[in-house]
Amino acid sequence: MSARENGRPRFNPLARRSWTDLGPRFASAIVLLLLAVVGLYVGSYVFAALVGAVFAGCYREWERMVTLRPLATPGAVLIGLLGLSALVFPAFGPLVSLGFVAVAAIVAAVTSGSEGVRTWRVGGVVFYGIVIVMLMMIRGDATWMQPGALDAGMWAGLMLGCVIWATDTGAYFTGRQVGGEKLAPDISPGKTWSGAIGGFALGTLVGLVLWLLVVPQSPWWIGLALAAALSIVGQVGDLAESAIKRRFRIKDSGDIIPGHGGLMDRLDSLTFGVIFLFAVGAIHAGLGAIAAGFLFW
């Protein structure tokens, strides 16, 4: 009996493999990775400028998504304030950075029309503003010109980025190659359980290997647990952004990154990872040693 006759489609593993976006994805990923490594290594105003530009760009996409109209002057002001919240950090610290975020939240509240738009705009400003400040506190304000001062912040940031990148990569290739049951079809129809498991496995493995190389004096099982948690949290962030995009009926937040869509599409996992890493470091060692609190046990 044929597949058509019994109503069951014949399994074809090649049917789900679509690799047309692999080249642009790979090239853009390499560029983003190099920028992140240089920013983490140099630190100070270079890292601040990178963080400010990237997350101000994320908010630009958020602004256009929640207002459902082209960028206007109030939105441009919010983008500028978020960018400045990162740039002032090396000189003035987190309180002044948070002050810029607070001003941006007020501007978002008073320049919004409907209550619904106001909630989403203020929420986006506060969320990305807090992520900016957290990321700056994780890296710290030391520069490459201060030997020994940048180790914890640089390595914590590198571990965060590598785990998230490996998780995304593992999920992409496993999901395309294996396919199978959908992970959350009502939120993101393209994601599968196989992709989630593959991403988790690769992200955890990469995180553990990096942990053993960077902080061999810290227990390996803590590194394993933290890498696994970062991978899971990153995937939750990906699903959360997909749910928000579905709420506003858009597929991609933008098209600035070839093969990836917008900045929000690429950094959704990272933002949740930043919050998790910050929380662990702060609870373990206090607000003055976020990166060290995450790495050294």
pLDDT in tens, 158-198: 999 999 999 988 988 888 888 788 888 888 888 889 999 99
Query: Looking at the 3D structure of the chain, how many domains does it have?
Result: 2
Q: What is the tens place of the pLDDT at every residue in 229-264?
A: 999 999 999 899 889 888 888 776 665 655 556 788
On whether both 168 and 212 belong to a single domain, the answer is yes
Calculate the average pLDDT of the chain. 85
What pTM value is reported for the model?
0.87
Instruction: State whether 89 and 50 are in the same domain.
Output: yes
User: Are 164 and 200 in a shared domain?
Assistant: yes
Domain that holds residue 176: 146-297
192 pairs with which residues across the strands?
182
Residue 18 lies in a domain: no
DSSP 3-state percent helix, strand, coil across the chain (nearest 5):
75, 5, 25
- Output the CA–CA distances (angstroms, integers) from residue 238 to 81, 189, 270, in the order listed: 26, 13, 9
172, 295: one domain: yes
127, 267 Cβ separation under 8 angstroms: no
